[in-house]
Chains A and B, each alone.
Chain A
Amino acid sequence: MHIPDGYLSPVFSLGSGVVTIPAWAVATHKVRDVLNRRTVPLMAIFSALSFTIMMFNVPVPGGTTAHGVGGTLIAIVLGPWAAMLCVSVALIIQALFFGDGGILAIFANCLNMGVILPFVGYYTYRVIAGRSPVLSTRRIWAAAIGSYVGITAAALAVGIELGLQPVLFQQNGHPLYSPYPLGVAIPAMLLSHAFGASLVEALITALGFAYIQKQHPALLTALREVVSGGDVPTGEAQALPLWRIFALAVPLALVLLFIAGLITGGGRLDHLFGADWSQVSWPDVGIMLLIVLGIAVVLLPLTWLLLPARLKRVGTFFMALAIFAPLGLIAPGFAFGEGSPEDVQQAFGYIPQGLRDLNGLWNAPLSGYTINADFFTAPNAPLWHAALGYEISGIIGILLLVLVVSGLMLLIRRLTGRGGGEAEVSGKPAQPREGAL
């Protein structure tokens, strides 16, 4: 996330100091008021810690590694103002002495990772944590969500800054600095973080917070004891039972979906997600749901039992996807990115030339994700017929994919010589240790 020099216009880079420098000034005063002369050693050592945390490679599921920033965790322990100073100092040292991130871009980088990240992270944490005791499980969730939101907000800020460059600084229509407009830069930064770095950061923060609670709870209260001079109620560690997590998460997800639907549907209740729900015949949907459920009850346990241990989870997951896929048929309109040219014409009023040329290159046997038989595609057939066709074609598709992939794997293994033979990690034969015996 470190922006190098040359990506931002120097006017913009130095101009972001208008926000960053006053923020530093306020932070210095706030921290000095609380800590007095202790400011310098504490801040210096935590800045060094922040620098070191950024060097940690965290193993991520899937075999790769990622870096954490740790800004939110430091903000939870030291408070947002102190965290702001610590992360900023670490960033300045990275730029000045290690050439990581531009020198002119210091203000912009400190704004993103030093100011926005700890502040958004910390206050999200505070809002979710509420008045719960310091040792409660709710605070772990609050730390995870806070750090996730914090680093995603920082990524959003980077996206906005990069995306503003072609808008603000261009010559004869040619961008002078980072060339991608807001519509490209923001989604690129947001998506790559929301599904990658932010998840890692949330995981590390949650695990770190839980460990602090368990082993060093003083870290969570010591500073506040300094400030308030009194004792801070720590409370008891209490595990949130799984059912309660689900009871919280499911309604929350539903409410979020509902709000998203209202926004995309223009605020009309019968047009959630932009679809006309009054066209749906609900008895048909009921029958379809019943049949889908019946199939799931039979097929899912069967898949689980039949598959080898290695594939159990993945295989059952894909099977569940295939079985529940027809739920999408309920929605009137078309699935995003899957529409046929007719759907596109209905929606936009015209067919792009390229789409018309490309379409019809290949007439698939399972075209439209269903089977070309009257039983499934007849215009008056009940909804569950279509659903069944959808499902069967989905399962066939997955089986085909598995066949193709495993065939390829087999071929590759044959070509590279049986797969298990080569020894490169430790190619040297073990020396017989005769002298030792």
Chain B
Amino acid sequence: MSLEAEADGGQVGGQVSRGQEVEPLTFSRRERRQLRRQLGWVEQTLAGVTEAIERAVFTEEHARRPGWLQGLDPRIKIGMFMVTVLAASLSHSLLVLLLLYGLLLLVARASLLPFDFFVRRVWLGIPFFAGVVILPSIFFTSGGPRLFELDLGPLHLGPTPASLLGAAVFVMRVGDAVSLAVLLILTTRWADLLKSLQILHVPQIFILLLSMTYRYIFLFLHTVNGFFEARKSRTVGFTSGGEQRAWIVTALVTLMNRSFQMSNEVYAAMCARGFTGTIRTYSDYRLRSGDVLALLGAALLAIGLFFLGRVLL
């Protein structure tokens, strides 16, 4: 659609002159929709970029607090995370999963994480999505007595106790797994988290790759933020969808071209500082008795939960 055709209805911008009644700036519904179309994608991208930066800053902030998990060795934390997330994933008992979640809330408290944030971040995000995904399977079930029946023409729908329990277990398990990941992420600085990947036998080159990538992500986010802010502040009037897509592709390829140049410069800088291709890291982590006890506790907890699940079923 042409721009002229779109700009015909409603009043845009009051004429301002001294001593006259000023007409308010009004938009018709179509223009409002147009405006949203003009800037919606820009604002969504900006929001995404901001959220990513905010999350990273937030994580660093919480990882520096003097809580219980923050004080543990990062390698131990990875081990604890792995055994508990495995136990949660293998568990098919709602009771066990609820018990684990209660424990996680206690641990979050002990690690000085803001309570409402921890709960909100976990339950408003992925598990809510999981709940929506699981919903149809509660009703489309075969076998077993139904709690109530919905007749929609030829379809007979209704939840059975088993399907309800299955859905609850599914949502709870996703909730536990996400809570565990959030605990790990929020209480560990990324540099520590990366170094501790060595105990999982991740090759050095990958760890170097990950750490450099993480560093450059923020540079790129900053650049993209600049691109989109500039676009937003310079957008006047209406442009077509084709123009918007052309712009976004230009931004993308410009970023790609910059990446090439930057990689050359970074390589030159690395060579100048004596990079020969071999990677050396230093680590001064020392295990303390508290760390070992925590790992043992987590392992015992995982085993306990596993067998408790078997007994309860």
Contact indicator B182/A57 (Cβ below 8 Å): no
Contact indicator B205/A40 (Cβ below 8 Å): yes
Residues of chain B within 8 A (CB-CB) of A204 are 245, 248-249, 252
Assuming A4-B126, A55-B224, is B190 touching A216 (CB within 8 A)? no
Using CB atoms, name the residue of chain A closest to B262: A45
Chain A 111-150, CB-CB to B under 8 Å as 1, else 0, gives 0000000000000000000000000000000000000000
Asked if A49 CB lies within 8 Å of chain B CBs, one says: yes
Residues of chain A within 8 A (CB-CB) of B251 are 56
Contact indicator A55/B210 (Cβ below 8 Å): no
Asked if A5 CB lies within 8 Å of chain B CBs, one says: yes
Contact indicator B270/A179 (Cβ below 8 Å): no
Shortest distance between the CB of A356 and any CB in chain B (Å): 10
Residues of chain A within 8 A (CB-CB) of B55 are 97-99
Shortest distance between the CB of A206 and any CB in chain B (Å): 9
Contact indicator A52/B255 (Cβ below 8 Å): yes
- Among the listed A61, A65, A89, A179, which residue makes an inter-chain contact with B170, where contact means beta carbons less than 8 Å apart? A179
Assuming A45-B216, A55-B224, A432-B16, is B29 touching A97 (CB within 8 A)? no
A309 and B45 alpha carbons, distance in the complex (Å):
34
Contact indicator A38/B267 (Cβ below 8 Å): yes
Asked if A297 CB lies within 8 Å of chain B CBs, one says: no
Contact indicator A40/B177 (Cβ below 8 Å): no
Measured as residues with beta carbon below 8 angstroms from the partner, the interface class of chain A is: 35 or more
Using CB atoms, name the residue of chain A closest to B216: A48
Secondary structure type dominating chain B contacts: helix
A178 and B89 alpha carbons, distance in the complex (Å):
12
A200 and B184 alpha carbons, distance in the complex (Å):
35
A86-119, CB < 8 A from B? 89-90, 92-93, 95-99, 102-104
Using CB atoms, name the residue of chain A closest to B36: A63
Residues of chain B within 8 A (CB-CB) of A240 are none
Shortest distance between the CB of A229 and any CB in chain B (Å): 18
How many residue pairs at the A-B interface have CB separations less than 8 Å?
280
A220 and B61 alpha carbons, distance in the complex (Å):
42
Residues of chain B within 8 A (CB-CB) of A174 are 162-163, 166
Assuming A99-B185, A358-B153, is B178 touching A5 (CB within 8 A)? yes
Shortest distance between the CB of A162 and any CB in chain B (Å): 10
Asked if B217 CB lies within 8 Å of chain A CBs, one says: yes
Query: Among A368-376, A383-391, A395-403, A417-425, which stretch is in contact with chain B?
Result: A417-425
Assuming A6-B174, A90-B213, is B22 touching A432 (CB within 8 A)? yes
- Among the listed A4, A6, A42, A419, which residue makes an inter-chain contact with B28, where contact means beta carbons less than 8 Å apart? A419
Q: A48-B219, A432-B22 are in contact. List 18 more A-B contacts (CB 8 A).
A: A10-B89, A37-B276, A38-B263, A38-B267, A40-B212, A44-B216, A46-B263, A49-B256, A52-B255, A57-B40, A63-B40, A174-B166, A422-B26, A422-B29, A425-B31, A427-B24, A431-B22, A433-B16
